[in-house]
Amino acid sequence: MTTLSFTLDPQNVISAIDPRLFGSFIEHLGRAVYTGVYEPEHPLADEDGFRQDVIDLVKGLHVTTVRYPGGNYVSGFNWRDSIGPKEERPVRLDYAWISKETNQFGIEEFARWCEKTGVEPMIAVNLGTGTPQEAGYFAEYCNHPGGTTLSDLRIQHGRREPYNFRLWCLGNEMDGPWQTGQMNAREYAHKARETAKILRCIDPKAQLVACGSSSSAMTTFPEWDRVVLEELYDYVDFISCHQYYENEGSETDFLASFVNMDNFIETIVSTANYAKAVRRSNKEMMISFDEWNVWYLRGDPWDAPMKDPANRFREAPPLLEDRYSFLDALVMGGLLCSLLNHADRVKMASLAQLVNVIAPIFTEPGKGALCQTLYWPFEMVASVSDGVVLRHQLPVPTFSSKYGDARSVQSSVVYNDARGEIYIFAVNCDFTTAFELDINLPAFSDCRLKEHKVLRSDDLYAKNTFDDPNRVHPEIIDYPHGSLRENTLMLSPLTWNRITLSVARA
């Protein structure tokens, strides 16, 4: 066992945590909506057709925002199809996921679902086949109080008060060749700028997110981001980041995924700072990491429906339904620490996605819902992280990975002064070495160990199933004493940990 000695100082703050760091994402893709959040025939469906078991799990996950309706889907989405009486809504072909969209779940249903789950909506506009004018009409319908044709149409449809959507994404992954309406950076920047001008005219309080590169692996990265930021710096509040990770055969490389996320964020921060200097701006550009997760992309999963003609253009076909392992949960823990450790610039993030499609929550049509392994690291962080992130330095050894040298322990520390608690989040990526924590807290008195919650398994590939839904589940480690100094705090090999300390200022 190796001892790690480090000091925590409540004055050494990276940043306060924006609650929107713990957002998620629902796209009209596969069963994310239909038989995911919306299933009127389900025995637990409420009067609006929403699955109450899913609502309960979303609340338990402590999700704060939800991005909607896409994703790739939004680049062919006509918002007018998703409003008004359901019996009058058109059925359309979805170009992104080769599916059939009934539009039975639309803007009004999403808004009601957000109200019931207590999340803030994050709305994406179509800048693929759509135009700046149509984006403006969409915002007018949603947010203008009344007295115009479109706002009065909303009132006629039963929503008297405006939705007051504040977060707007200006398109999605517009540099991607898979995207309907793909364009180059200057074409996108021009279209997004004109859209931003219209949206701000309609609602000066709107917060706008520009499309960044679709991932750090894109050939357009980071030149796309530079061009877009130079053109849009004065018009938007956030630049987006998207990145997914998968086990490509090396468990050590997979565990080191957080190194790639760190590098991605720091590159975008540098690019944004350059654009700030070019624009002679006083504004700090923030990051919306509004797609991130573990996603097994091998085999081109979006092509699967097209390979068998019988599968083309079905309603809500099961797509991208990854079933996650304990190893995947460890990787997620490391990524969560990266987001926290960059809380000074990453102010929003969206775990993609929320239900069924590469998601922490999985459902069976007409039956039950379960928490995948990914549910637990997210919940363990989101449920308590409403304070400030503290700088800290763990003197840990490193290991080699395809991303470069990686720390054996990836960690983050959150301090909540009002509650008098410190939370230490840590994933031990070492296969054999346990680490003892020797924590120095000179600014505090009466430091006590309140709880040590751990996610562990003797099988890296263990999964939660409907037959065994709690196979991977957090457990509490019992310690014989309350005093911090009377206990040995240990990070066992290949574990995800949340240690809660009760502290009082000295």
Q: Is 284 annotated in the active site?
A: no
Query: Which one, of 232, 330, 331, 211, lies nearest residue 278 by Cα?
Result: 232
Which pLDDT belongs to residue 305? Answer: 66
Would you say 132 and 87 are in contact if contact means Cβ atoms under 8 Å apart? Answer: no
In the chain, what are the domain boundaries?
A: 2-11+389-505, 18-385
| pLDDT digits 0-9 by tens, 121-137 | 999 999 999 999 999 99
Q: Which residue's entry shows tokens 């400030």?
A: 388
Q: Which residue's entry shows tokens 């550009």?
A: 285
> Which of 215-219, 314-318, 477-481 comes out lowest in average pLDDT?
477-481
Q: Is residue 465 pLDDT above 90, yes or no?
A: yes
505 CB contacts (<8 Å, ≥6 apart)?
Answer: 10, 443, 444, 445
Catalytic residue among 173, 231, 315, 451: 173
Query: Which one, of 384, 278, 379, lies nearest residue 329 by Cα?
Result: 379
CATH number of 2-11+389-505: 2.60.40.1180
Which pLDDT belongs to residue 301? Answer: 64
Q: Is residue 453 pLDDT above 80, yes or no?
A: yes
Angle between helices 185-202 and 132-143 (to 10 degrees): 30
Q: Is residue 306 pLDDT above 90, yes or no?
A: no
Under the banding of pLDDT at 50, 70 and 90, the label for residue 299 is low
| pLDDT digits 0-9 by tens, 208-263 | 999 999 999 999 999 999 999 999 999 999 999 999 999 999 999 999 999 999 99
CA distances for 176 relative to 49, 183, 372, 466, angstroms: 35, 8, 29, 36
330 CB contacts (<8 Å, ≥6 apart)?
Answer: 255, 377, 427, 429, 455, 494, 495, 496
Which pLDDT belongs to residue 307? Answer: 75
Question: CA angle, 495 as apex, 491 and 496 as ends, to 5°?
Answer: 95
Which pLDDT belongs to residue 302? Answer: 64
| pLDDT digits 0-9 by tens, 345-361 | 999 999 999 999 999 99
DSSP 344-406: TTEEEEEES-SBSSS-SEEE-TTS-EEE-TTHHHHHHHHTT--SEEEP------EE--TTS-E
Task: Please state, in angstroms and rounded to a whole number, the distance separating the CA atoms of residues 82 and 46.
Answer: 20
Q: Is 291 annotated in the active site?
A: yes
The arithmetic mean of pLDDT across residues 268-274, rounded, is 98
Q: Is residue 362 pLDDT above 90, yes or no?
A: yes
Top CATH class of 18-385 equals alpha beta
